[in-house]
Amino acid sequence: MGTKYVYTFSSVGHMFITLVHSIKTLTDYVPPEDVIVFYTPPRDPTHREVVADLGVDLREVGNRTEAFAAFDERPSHYGAKTHLCSVDADRVVFLDCDTLVFDDPATVASGPFEFKARPGSARLGEDWRRLFDRFDEPLVEWMPNAGFLVFDDGLHREIESDWLRYLDVDVEIGATSVDHREQYALALAVAGHDLARMDANEHVFEWRETPPAGGCVYHQGRLFDDSIGSIREALRATAEQVSIKIDKLRHR
């Protein structure tokens, strides 16, 4: 059943424009029919039309959890990434909307493992260890950065119920301005499986000035908004105008 590449997005904030840029870079390496986009509420008809015109498999699905106030105070939802568990493929590669692909992701996705991710930057202490003890799971000594994930040998289907169950767990792992509950739940769900760590070139995560050369997937996080801010307003137009502008951007 091969490999499928998966995104999730909703029409909140800048997710639409970052998604379009990411898909445009990804499809330099993989055919658009191998790209699945799960579209959760709220939705916008223009966004729907533009993304569908990219030739990807666009699937409208519901939110997994009730809304909560994210770090930017906009309503957000946990668990959108768990929709990838429904994909009928042996291997699933997940990409956040705020990523750019500058090398063939298949080079990162192949290998003797069931799950691969870059370790997150959050500091982990005794609270992290106690979390695994609490649920009698083997300790995963690092928290996965969920912006670029690889699931192989059908692991994404196998862990669905555990991932959803652990999303409901009330946990606090140190002091942080960002709630990493989705990553906590993912780490618990993949515990005990064959895990591999991406290196800093496979998943380049944020940078302050010049991005490092030679990376595969560049994950800009909040920095993405600044880098495309000058064109953001221009891309809030009709579907046809957006498509034309995106094509022009691609060939610059």
pLDDT digits (tens), the chain, 252 positions: 799 999 999 998 889 999 999 999 999 999 999 999 999 999 999 999 999 999 999 999 998 766 544 444 444 556 889 999 999 999 999 999 999 999 999 999 988 999 999 998 777 888 899 999 999 999 999 999 999 999 999 999 999 999 999 988 776 665 454 567 888 899 999 999 999 999 999 999 877 667 778 899 998 865 544 444 332 333 344 344 444 544 554 454
pTM, rounded to two decimals: 0.84
Residue 166 to residue 185: CA distance in whole angstroms: 5
Residue 129, both tokens: 């260890």
- Domains along the sequence of the chain with CATH: 3-250 (3.90.550.10)
pLDDT the model gives residue 209:
67
Residue 80 to residue 193: CA distance in whole angstroms: 22
pLDDT the model gives residue 222:
53
Sheet strands side by side (includes 99-101): 99-101, 217-219, 203-205
Contact (Cβ atoms closer than 8 angstroms) between residue 174 and residue 127: yes
pLDDT the model gives residue 235:
34
- Paired sense of beta strands 144-151 and 68-69, if any: unpaired
Q: How far apart are the first and last CA of the chain?
A: 36
